[in-house]
Structure 1
Amino acid sequence: MNLKKNTMRTTSLRKMAKNDITKYQKRALKRLDAEDLEMIKFLVKKIHKEKGKKRDENYYNEGCTALFQYYTTAILDPFNMHAISDELDDFWHAHVIDTVSYDLLCKDLGFFMHHDPLNPKDIKKEKDVKIVYEYTRRKVLPSIFGEKNLSKIFHPIKTKLVCLHDLEITNHALFSVEGFFPEHTKMQTIKAKYGHAARKLKIRQGLLKRKFI
């Protein structure tokens, strides 16, 4: 059995990325390229089976590539928030469920990609998530990979709004965390409301109110 062929992407993120990136960012993309995909695909298939969905193997391979393109936004644009499409969100959920793999990847990259789900009843946040998604899809992803390398299924221009990610920089990095894109004023405003620091504070305040702290 050719293990590499069965567990790793055949399309290199480093080769797809068109930016003049640093050696540290190249190493970080190499780390993404080395990630084992079999458990992610297995778990997504399980999620889809529970939902009554059936897709071919090309769909799952394409989805894994799209997921790691989404993770690349965290490497090249770590100081702004990003949002994922509804179609791709199951792949992210599947990877997060495999806690050891996800945690190790995040530690190696130097940050934890917090998964921030959207409550569709929160209209104000939904509007902000739309702004973040449009920033991710219209500006960042095409700048990194070019429009021709973006899946219309997993990176659509319009999507049902679902989740955000925000990074918590760690001290366990194998690579330096560096941004290719500047801090975006609107993204920073949204991050102040929904980033991991703001969410942790809100949770702590709730615990205090319930007299746990």
Structure 2
Amino acid sequence: MIVWLIVICEVGFWVLLAAGLATRYLLKLPRLGMALLLCEPLLEVLLLVVTAIDLKNGAAPDWKHGLAALYIGYTVGHGHRTVTWLDGHAAHRLAGGPPPPKAPPYGMARARHEGRIWLGTLIGGAVATVLLLAAMWYVGDDGDTSSLKSWMYGAWRAVGIHGLIALSYTLWPKKAPEPEQQDQPSALPARDPQDVADLPVGRPGQDEEKV
């Protein structure tokens, strides 16, 4: 049941997002569209409540409950950024708004951008950890919580790997390509050999010897 609920929440996330953006920009009802977008966190609350009820009814904590915790954590850490990114594209394509800013491609600006994305992953890992610890505390010492612990370790492995990737942009920043160097014109124009042969012999300004 938990797995199906996660699938329903994921599908519902994109359905509500599409409906909210269409209502906001195609139907010109910004308040109703915003209300639909604000309903998305209710999906995570529903998933959290059902997971807690499942544990309370005696279900053994397993990978399904860990997956639910990670899904909620990811939504908390990256959901707002995803919605903002898609809202900018919808405003540009459907309402004639300015194109959304692109991620900086080079230098420390790109490193800061990657760091902000990693911060979302860090928040997601922290939220998932809190939920998993709460589930482990709820089960107590009588139940097997090894699956929840493995999900918690997996969450922090993902945070660490993403952090190393983000750190690489700081240690080895991507450099902008150098502009192509154009051929510099020569200082003096090339002389025609025939013109050189017609030049008078001797130093300039020197009078010819008189006989």
Same fold (TM > 0.5): no
Greater C-alpha radius of gyration = 2
TM-score of Structure 1 vs Structure 2, range by shorter chain:
under 0.3
Higher strand share: 1
Q: Which has the higher contact order (CA 8 A, sep 6+)?
A: 1
